Structure 1
């Protein structure tokens, strides 16, 4: 059964409401006075935005602030108090720490404990990590395993007969002879790309390209969604830049960035969607070194938003709902532990488009 969280019902992106909603989605709870100081506005402005969001059902008002709404389970169905949640993520220094914090926040609210274990992207075989979590006493698992290649098949086999309830984060899988769906919560990447392309088209761009991290498991999906979004707007996507970016530690990283900028000039691409923030920042620097203005000659939108706001110019970015992914996954797992016979839930959560300085109308030819 697919669900879409209330994050999908967004106010107009770029509005004060969007900034407040993004803060609530990331942190779970915000205080009006603290957020007003952070945003450089009056508490009345933030309080008005909270009121609008609460009326739309996107946040819940609490004394002095607001808290997130979403798939949550009641205390009566939260599973055994004191149960241990094992968590396996592919990185402890990028993306996943925010997911883990969201999971920890929800687990604490439900009286559960979280035990975190790190793996690596494209791991050959993560069954040992999963088994060690179970052996250490995990009553349920939140995992983001490698599901591609031979190692992925081994994990799927393990999931088909998992000894404890499992919820996938930012992954989906079907397992066993009848291809049973595994419970999951994922970012609606299609929605994120659609928002980004729509934003750029609204500013007058007609040649919108992509430059995606070749190591990201989401790159193929993001590219497919980019092609679909361009087609929906009648754009000729193949005419624009369509490139992959190697890991920043690889020796050909800088030369690849330089060649992408050269392709931007050669193809007349006026806007790029880039995964992720560090790649987008380096690409902007290289474009400026070649004499391109950002925005103007080239608008850039990052798919990440971890350090995008600190860029010069500040990056417009699609922000995945990292903490909400963690919180929702814990809620699903707790509900599964409380009721093993409930239908499988596959929850889709919309990201947020944070409009900043790196996107704008293209210069006239």
Structure 2
């Protein structure tokens, strides 16, 4: 016989009257109800102020205390990122600030590039009885972005952050908030085209979803703006274990292109771009006099000498938007259509670009 939601929730409250607190997974085992169902019931009861959740455990409210009701009340959100200290610092900061404003809390997991630990880290977050997940999985570009299908089987609502699944896979049905890096590449090339450059070189990595999108956006922008088609210079993938960074070789390839008449280059990302002006000087080239240099990410670009014009993805807005979308999903359930929201980068104009010579 099917048990109604009201009957299940009454059983949960009755059980909690006999214990001080209990983890959701243990509560589910005691009641013989699937954990995913208990999580939904617990979230609903918490929103009604009938129970409290702390660090993955649930209990009845202490008499005389207030429990805030609402879409973000007492929500615990798990967030997975591939790194901190660089690009994703701002994404995490945006999500954390939005969570605080909504009365929710973010707990962070890190699955480093190249470690193949996404699934293990996500399982740990789920075991912490999170209500939902914000995920930036370490998808490796290639023929399709592989490794996404199992995400569609997660037991809690999930929003992809700075990622978008392939349209023909199960994970394509997940909510997503991301920077439109293809538009960012178009911004960069349009700026250089407006300065008179018809040949714009791209030096880029291959190891991340952002790199994949920047490369695709560059190819689209070259066609759209009718620029010269040039081979892409591969920047070493420093996120791969054991890989060596040889930006000296990248600088040599750029110098060779300059000798052939190229006077502009877009570099992904700025951690690499800020090293190039010094390396190019050893080839007798100065930025921006001999070469216009534009970087992608705008994490360190302003600290370069000269300061670099840079594409700036809306990193904080992506984090905040993903958190807000997840809270809406938790509040409304399946009545909310799948949202896949691309936010447009901006271009920060600095001293590293000038017109073609």
TM-score by length of 1: 0.72
Q: Which residue of 2 aligns with 1:346?
A: 340
Q: Which residue of 2 aligns with 1:54?
A: none
1:287 has 2:277 as partner: no
Give the Cα separation in 2 of the matches to 1:310 and 1:180.
38
1:336 has 2:329 as partner: yes
Q: 1:82 aligns with which of 74, 80, 86?
A: 74
Give the ranges of 4+ consecutive aligned residues of structure 1 lying more than 6 Å apart after TM superposition: 175-179
Give the Cα separation in 2 of the matches to 1:101 and 1:188.
19
Per-residue CA deviation, residues 154-193 of structure 1 (Å, 9 max, x unaligned), is 5522x22211000000111259986652100010112111
How far off is 1:227 after superposition?
A: 1.8
How far off is 1:125 after superposition?
A: 4.4
1:135 has 2:105 as partner: no
Query: Which aligned pairs between 1:134-173 and structure 2 lie closer than 5 A?
Result: 134-148=126-140, 155-157=148-150, 159-173=151-165
Per-residue CA deviation, residues 246-282 of structure 1 (Å, 9 max, x unaligned), is 1458445133223323332343211000011121111
Q: Decide which structure has the larger Cα Rg and report it.
A: 2
1:113 has 2:105 as partner: yes
Corresponding residue SS for 2:265: strand
1:226 has 2:238 as partner: no
Q: Which residue of 1 aligns with 2:232?
A: 242
Q: Which residue of 1 aligns with 2:354?
A: 360
Give the Cα separation in 2 of the matches to 1:211 and 1:125.
29
Per-residue CA deviation, residues 99-146 of structure 1 (Å, 9 max, x unaligned), is 110001100111001001111124424222111101112110001012
1:199 has 2:191 as partner: yes
Give the Cα separation in 2 of the matches to 1:116 and 1:328.
17
Q: 1:108 to 1:126 in 2, by over 3 A?
A: same
CA contact (8 A) 2:247 2:272 kept: no
Per-residue CA deviation, residues 205-227 of structure 1 (Å, 9 max, x unaligned), is 11101000232332232122112
Give the Cα separation in 2 of the matches to 1:290 and 1:298.
12
CA contact (8 A) 1:296 1:362 kept: no
CA contact (8 A) 1:167 1:333 kept: yes
1:273 has 2:256 as partner: no
Per-residue CA deviation, residues 263-312 of structure 1 (Å, 9 max, x unaligned), is 32343211000011121111121222222121132101100111111111
Query: Which aligned pairs between 1:302-321 and structure 2 lie closer than 5 A?
Result: 302-321=295-314
Bigger drift between 92-101 and 348-357 goes to 92-101
Give the Cα separation in 2 of the matches to 1:98 and 1:263.
36
Corresponding residue SS for 2:126: helix
Q: Which residue of 2 aligns with 1:12?
A: none
Corresponding residue SS for 2:333: coil
Q: 1:263 aligns with which of 238, 252, 256?
A: 256
How far off is 1:231 after superposition?
A: 1.5
Number of residue pairs matched by the alignment: 284
Give the Cα separation in 2 of the matches to 1:232 and 1:177.
29
Give the Cα separation in 2 of the matches to 1:89 and 1:103.
12
Structure 1: state its 5+ residue gaps: 1-75
TM-score by length of 2: 0.74
Q: 1:267 to 1:78 in 2, by over 3 A?
A: farther
Q: Which residue of 1 aligns with 2:26?
A: none
Per-residue CA deviation, residues 316-356 of structure 1 (Å, 9 max, x unaligned), is 00011110010000011000000111100001101110000
Q: 1:199 to 1:258 in 2, by over 3 A?
A: closer
